[in-house]
Structures are given as structure tokens and as C-alpha cells.
Chain A
Amino acid sequence: MVYLTRSEHFNAAHRLFNPGWSYEKNEEVFGKCANENWHGHNYELLVTVKGNPDPDTGFLFDVKKLSLIIRQHIIERMDHHNLNLDVDFMKDKMCSTENLAMGIWEQLAPHLPAGVQLHCVKLYETPRIYVEYFGR
């Protein structure tokens, strides 16, 4: 079993805001992240797949194809967008890094071929804050 990781990045706006709570409660829990006019990040996304290398190519998966899948299903929908307003799979969800990583997993998993398993979605919100999701 080998693990293969591709790194991509996107820049986006978001806010943390629970519509079921009052303005004051949101401020209390999310602080300046709740700013009604949004703020933003340079997100770094690391997608790790696992499997056995093909004996003919030596590849677990053509990393160019992995890059294209991530770009088509994630980057094009998120880059330079507002994650709360523009991204359909985040509708009605809190736009935390945790939920983004889980949402990204759900978008990517169906597009990987047989024999290539998604292992980890690692998402950096800032250089010092990141989450990992292993699909369970």
C-alpha cells in the first residue's frame, strides 16, 4: 500500500455564522470570524489517495489526473468564490474548515477509479490552522 498526495490551493471568502442564533451569540462564539461582510483565506488543500502501484506504470494513480479531478470538482467551484454564498455543497452548513474538508471528501470520492481509495483530505485555512478528515 502506497499513499500519494496532491496539493492544490484556492483563495476564498467566508464567515462563521449560525443563522439559528442571535447576532450577539454569533459574535460571542465566532468573534471576528462572524463579520457580516466576510473575511478570507488562502486555503491549501492536500488530497491523499492510497492503493497499490500498477505494475506496468509504477503509478498508484496518474497524479495529473488526480490534479484535474481536484481542480474540476473543487478548485473551480471554490477558488475566488464566497464559500457561504457560492458553493452548492456547503449550502445550509457551517463554513468551518472541518465541514469544508468533509464536504470536499464527499465531492471527490465518487470520481476516483477502482483501486484508488481516498485516504485523507487535509485543509489548511492558514499556515498555522489545518484539519484532516479520513472519511470516518
Chain B
Amino acid sequence: MAKQVSVFRREHFNAAHRLFNPEWDESTNEKVFGKCALPNYHGHNYELEVKVTGKPDKKTGYVMDLKELSDLIKREVHTRFDHKNLNLDTEEFKNLNPTAENIAIVIYKLLRPHIDKKMDFQIRLFETPRNFVEYPAG
């Protein structure tokens, strides 16, 4: 029985956003989200780590071809989010607050259908070098 191995691919994208709940008034948004709610947006260099876990294929020795994973991330994530305003330019966050948590969940959902079901799959998203989230948790 081959043992399980995790393989990772790291990509990055730069985007603007703001945190804002349209059901709240300005002062509640400011109270909850602080300067992240400022109306003219701010931005980040997002670092995305994608982790695929499974048994290496007997013929190739690969869990997954990392070039294919890279191309997949560029196609599904980069083209949607890189150099975009997440609130204004993307379908995904038209009605969803673009917190790091929600961005990670969205990216997971975009990529998961293209990853072999036998493999475990996890996203780690850095909003800054010191703030990052993982989905699914654990």
C-alpha cells in the first residue's frame, strides 16, 4: 500500500476589496470592520497555497501534476481575481463579503470539481504575511 503524500502549489494575486455589510449602516460597518470598511477600498497581495493529498500514481509517481495544478489555479482564480476589485469586478463577491474566510471557501469551490475526488484538497490563503486562513478547517 502506497503511503499518502501531500503536494502543494503556491500562487499569488493582487486585488482590492473592502469589508462591508450592506444591511448595516455606515457606523455599524465602521464599528465592526474598522478601516477595512473605508469606502475607497484598500488591497492586498494574496498568497494562495493549494494542498492535494493522496497516493502517488503508480505510473507517474505523481499525486498530481503540479503544472496542471498551476494552470488550473491560473484559469479559475487568477483570471477572476488578479488585479481586480473583489467587491465590484467579480460575480462571486457581488453578494458576499470578501473576507479571507469567504475568499478561501470560494476558491475551494472553484477548484474542487477539477481535482480527483480520491484526493483530499485544502486551501490556505494569506491575506497578509501574518493573516491567513485554511479551508476546510482541520
B83 adjacent to A13 (CB under 8 Å): no
- Known pairs A32-B83, A37-B89, A80-B42. 8 more at Cβ < 8 A? A12-B43, A13-B42, A35-B89, A40-B43, A41-B43, A82-B41, A82-B42, A86-B38
Are B85 and A41 touching (Cβ within 8 A)? no
A38-B16 CB under 8 A given contacts A33-B83, A79-B35, A81-B40: yes
Kindly name the residue among A32, A37, A42, A126 whose own CB sees the greatest number of chain B CB atoms within 10 A.
A42
B15 x A81 contact (CB < 8 A): no
Which A residues are closer than 8 A to B by beta carbons? 9, 11-14, 32-33, 35, 37-42, 79-82, 85-86, 126-127
Q: Tell me if B84 counts as interface (CB < 8 A to partner A).
A: yes
Flag whether B124 is at the interface (Cβ < 8 A).
no
B4 CB contacts on chain A under 8 angstroms? none
- Can you name the residue of chain B whose Cβ is closest to the Cβ of A76? B35
Whether B84 lies near A39 (C-beta < 8 A) is yes
By secondary structure, the A interface counts as: strand
Contact check: which of B14, B36, B38 meets A126 at CB < 8 Å?
B14
Are B128 and A42 touching (Cβ within 8 A)? yes
Instruction: Report whether A127 and B45 are in contact in the complex, using a CB–CB cutoff of 8 Å.
Output: yes
8 pairs, CB–CB < 8 Å, chain A vs chain B: A12-B42, A35-B85, A37-B88, A39-B14, A41-B14, A80-B35, A80-B42, A126-B45
Chain A residue at smallest Cβ distance from B129: A42
Chain A's closest residue to B46 (CB) is A42
Chain B: minimal CB distance from A97 (Å)? 12
Cβ distance A80 to chain B, nearest Cβ, rounded Å: 4
Contacts of A35 in B (CB 8 A): 83-85, 89
Q: Are B35 and A39 in contact (CB under 8 A)?
A: no
Q: Which residues of A contact B134 (CB under 8 A)?
A: none
- With A13-B16, A79-B35 in contact, do A39 and B40 touch (Cβ < 8 Å)? no
Q: Tell me, rounded to whole Å, the shortest Cβ–Cβ distance linking B15 to chain A.
A: 5
Residue B9, interface by CB 8 Å:
no
B44 on interface, CB distance cutoff 8 Å: yes
Residues B41 and A40 in contact, CB atoms below 8 Å apart:
yes
Q: Would you give the 0/1 interface string for B76-96, flagging 1 where the beta carbon is closer than 8 Å to chain A?
A: 000000111100110000000
